[in-house]
Chain A
Amino acid sequence: MPRTMLFLTLFLLGAAAARAQGLAFVIDSAGAAVSVVDVGSEREIRRIPVLREPHHMALTPDHRFLLIGDTTGNELLFLDPRTGEILRRLTVSDPYQLQFSPDGKWLVVNGLARNQVDIFDAKDYHLVHRVALKSMPSHLNFSPDSSTVYITLQGTDRLAAIALGSGAVLWNTEVGETPAAVLWHQGRLLVAVMGGNGISVVDPATGVVRARIPTGRGAHNLFLSPDGKVIYVTNRVDGTLAVLDAQSLKVTREIRVPGGPDDLDFGPDGRLWISRRFAHSVAVLDPVSGHYDVIEVGRSPHGIWLNTHDHLPRALAGTAPPHS
Chain B
Amino acid sequence: MSDPFDTLAGWLSEHLLIPLLWQVGLMRWEDLAYGWALFATYGAMQVALMYAICLPLERFFPIERWPDHRVELTDMFYTVLARVGLLPLVTFVLFFRVQVAFSGWLTDHGYVPPTLERAIPGLLGHPILTFLAYALILDFADYWRHRLSHRFRWWYALHALHHAQRQMTFWSDDRNHLLDDLIAALWFGVIALGVGVPPLQFPLLVLVLRFLESLSHANTRLSFGWLGERLLISPRFHRVHHAARAAGKQSCNYGAVFPYWDMLFGTADFTTQYAPTGDPRAPEALASGGYLAQQWAGLQGFIQALAPPRRHLS
Contacts and interface: CB of A to CB of B under 8 A. Distances in A.
A194 B30 CA distance: 10
B253 interface: no
A244 B113 CA distance: 43
B14 to A, nearest CB: 4
A280 B2 contact: yes
B269 interface: no
A155 B103 CA distance: 18
B14 A33 contact: no
Given A74-B113, A236-B30, A280-B6, A52 B103 contact: no
B11 A52 contact: no
A115 interface: yes
Contacts of B25: 177, 195
Contacts of A258: 14
A277 interface: yes
A300 B34 CA distance: 8
B13 A278 contact: yes
A51 interface: yes
A31 interface: yes
B13 to A, nearest CB: 5
Given A113-B100, A280-B3, A30 B35 contact: yes
A24 to B, nearest CB: 18
Contacts, number: 100
Interface in B187-212: 197, 199-201
B185 interface: no
A116 B197 CA distance: 21
For the complex, would chain A's binding face be called helix, strand, loop or mixed by DSSP majority? loop
Interface in A293-324: 296, 299-300
B201 A260 contact: no
A52 B38 contact: no
Nearest to A31: B201
A239 B3 contact: no
Nearest to A115: B104
A34 interface: no
Interface in A242-286: 258-260, 277-281
Interface in B17-40: 18-19, 22, 25, 27-28, 30, 34-35, 38
Interface residues of A, number: 42
Contact of B18 (A30, A72, A116, A260): A260
Contacts of A178: 27-28, 30
A122 interface: no
A91 interface: yes
B289 interface: no
A218 B18 contact: yes
Which of B18, B30, B112, B200 has the most chain A CB atoms inside 10 A of its CB?
B30
Which of B18, B19, B25, B197 has the most chain A CB atoms inside 10 A of its CB?
B18
B107 A114 contact: yes
Interface in B206-256: none
Given A32-B199, A113-B100, A236-B18, A52 B115 contact: yes
A154 B28 contact: yes
B10 A52 contact: no
A300 B7 CA distance: 10
A217 interface: yes
B127 interface: yes
Interface residues of B, number: 35
B58 interface: no
B200 A32 contact: yes
Contacts of A130: 108
A20 B100 CA distance: 44
Given A260-B14, A278-B34, A194 B27 contact: yes
A290 interface: no
B10 A195 contact: no
B201 A114 contact: no
Contact of B103 (A31, A114, A236): A114
Contacts of B197: 52, 72
A32 B14 contact: no
B109 to A, nearest CB: 11
B181 interface: no
B117 interface: yes
Contacts of A30: 34-35, 38, 200-201
Given A114-B100, A154-B28, A73 B107 contact: no
A300 B5 CA distance: 12
A113 B10 CA distance: 23
Contacts of A154: 28
A136 interface: yes
Nearest to A180: B27
B11 A278 contact: yes
B22 A218 contact: yes
Contacts of A259: 10, 14
A165 interface: no
A280 B113 CA distance: 29
23 contacts: A30-B200, A31-B201, A32-B199, A49-B125, A51-B199, A72-B197, A74-B113, A74-B115, A111-B104, A113-B103, A114-B104, A115-B100, A154-B28, A178-B27, A178-B30, A217-B22, A236-B30, A237-B18, A259-B10, A278-B34, A280-B3, A299-B6, A299-B9
The 5 closest A-B pairs by CB, nearest first: A278-B10, A178-B27, A278-B14, A114-B104, A299-B6
Given A115-B100, A218-B18, 12 more contacts: A51-B115, A51-B117, A52-B115, A93-B107, A93-B112, A111-B104, A113-B104, A155-B28, A194-B30, A195-B27, A280-B2, A299-B6
Interface of A: 30-33, 49, 51-52, 72-74, 91, 93-94, 111, 113-116, 130, 136, 154-155, 177-178, 194-195, 217-218, 236-237, 239, 258-260, 277-281, 296, 299-300
